[in-house]
Amino acid sequence: MLCHVLRAPRTTCSVRSIPARTPLHVEPLTVSLAFQIRRLARHSAIYGLGGILSRILAVLPLPLYTSYLGTRGFGKIELVTVLTTVLVIVLSAGISSAFFRFYFDSKDDARRTLIVRTTFWFTMAMATLGLLAGIVFASPTAHALGLGNDPWLVRAAAVGLWAQMNYQQLTNLFRVEERSVQFVAASIANILITVGATVLLVVGLHKGATGAVVGNFLGTLAVYLVLLVYRRYQLGLQFDGRLLREMNRFGLPLVPSALALWAISFIDRLFVGAYKGIAEVGVYSLAVRVSSVIVFLMIAFRLAWPAFAYSIDDDSTAKRTYSYVLTYLLFICCWISIALGTLAPWLVQILAPSKPAFYRADEAVGVLAFGTTAYAGYTVLAIGIGRARQTQFNWIVSGIAAVVNIALNFALIPPYGMMGAAVSTAAAYVTLFLGMTINSQRVYPVPYQWRRVLTLSGVAIALTAVGYELRSLPLSIALCLVYPLLLLPLGFYLPAERARLRRLVPLRG
């Protein structure tokens, strides 16, 4: 079924290129802003649809997991997730970002094939190194993380790391080819196998946290093997050390930055575990999962964003497009944040219906959602750095944000627990956004629409605060619905946007 959807490549010697007739590299006068936004929206929507289906399939069994794993089981899974995320960043060495930049810099099919093969074998080697290290050092790692005498949980996470790194590299090919439907087909197949295996292992066989981790990588591993067969002609025995060194010069400076981003996103779990115990980590992880609806939107956007952003050759067209993308992305993220923040008490009870110990998680959802919204804006701002190939200073921006996060974790988590962690994370993401604004404007100035950004953000935060404090379900729903309307008298919409809105919703005289 999956192979039928993917359809084997027609050529046996080169990576499938976007046909020349596709309007990716054209003069700015022939490509309107509306066309560029529609193209980004189309691919983001397809990725998003796949993400919605994947999220639904992943969330449906969550009440079962909370019942069978409890707060301690959730906490264990969260800690090994933190570990594998760090290892993926270090072992990948920024090769994924370099892959996108070098692929679009090359217009020659043979050169693109070489880039694909070199990236594939480098990723395979580094993932295998991580797998072996995880197997050999499983016992001391388990004790260091506070997992007790549970080395098999670490070994399972190591296998998951290997599968994740290799799977991601193969699916990146669909992204550069702008074949979003095929990417989504692979993702849905992955999540279907994952959910089925996890329910069987956790609920049916009572394998606990280890069963959840094993179930998670079984789907990734199965789909990876299918993709390996599908891409077999493009993954030949070809490797260019000189090309790899060039790609590493681009990608390696991004590793410290990525580690700092990891610290902002995950290190709070370690602080919460150390100060408040692993059960508090479990409660906090539920808040993170509820707010991760924004993360899902970001993933859909980020899957389409690099290929789209780098494919616009003309700088003036690119800058104008980027400015509108930032405004529209933050508008959508803020709107969703209002919904998550105001409806959090009811969402948490739905996801943990028989576990009142989880209900406190609703306090942190809104803060985390708006923090992630700031990070969404950061991803748009950072593309200018990659476009200018000036990545060497990214670590300073992300490093400052990480220091802010760690300092606030020390200060806020002991007295406030998971809420202190949520505030620390949100503050770090805002710092990251502001720092990248300064850095990107220095390297690649873009006329972003700051008045509109401040307007939409301020109104969204105010509505969320009101809705959460009053805790009325009808009022919360109403606040979500009126958000776009409240922006109208504040002069948020441009004349062209108001004209489009009037055409969509004609006013009766």
The per-residue pLDDT for 312 is: 80
Over 50: is that where the pLDDT of 23 sits?
no
Confidence of residue 125 (pLDDT cuts 50, 70, 90): very high
Which H helix or E strand runs over 255?
helix 254-276
Give the pLDDT mean for 386-414: 89
Report how far residue 476's alpha carbon sits from residue 340's, in angstroms, rounded to the nearest whole number: 10
Which burial class, exposed, middle or buried, applies to 42 when counting CB atoms under 10 A from its CB (0-12, 13-18, 19+)? middle
* pLDDT single digits (tens) 213-254: 888 889 889 999 999 888 877 788 889 999 999 998 888 888
Report how far residue 406's alpha carbon sits from residue 124's, in angstroms, rounded to the nearest whole number: 33
The per-residue pLDDT for 338 is: 96
Answer for the pair 93, 391: CB distance below 8 angstroms, yes or no.
Answer: no
Confidence of residue 175 (pLDDT cuts 50, 70, 90): confident
Over 50: is that where the pLDDT of 29 sits?
no
Give the pLDDT mean for 55-73: 67
The per-residue pLDDT for 10 is: 37
The residue whose two tokens read 């290799």 is: 166
The fraction of the chain above a pLDDT of 70, given in percent, is 87
Report how far residue 361's alpha carbon sits from residue 363's, in angstroms, rounded to the nearest whole number: 5
Q: Calculate Rg over the CA atoms of the chain.
A: 23
Q: What pTM was estimated for this model as a whole?
A: 0.70
3-class DSSP state for residue 355? Answer: coil
* pLDDT single digits (tens) 436-470: 999 999 999 999 999 999 999 999 999 999 999 98
The per-residue pLDDT for 233 is: 72
Q: Which of 1-15, 430-444, 479-493 has the lowest average pLDDT? A: 1-15
The per-residue pLDDT for 344 is: 93
Q: Which of 2-6, 8-12, 278-282, 317-321 has the lowest average pLDDT? A: 8-12
Q: How many residues does the chain have?
A: 509
Q: Which of 35-44, 75-84, 267-276 has the lowest average pLDDT? A: 35-44
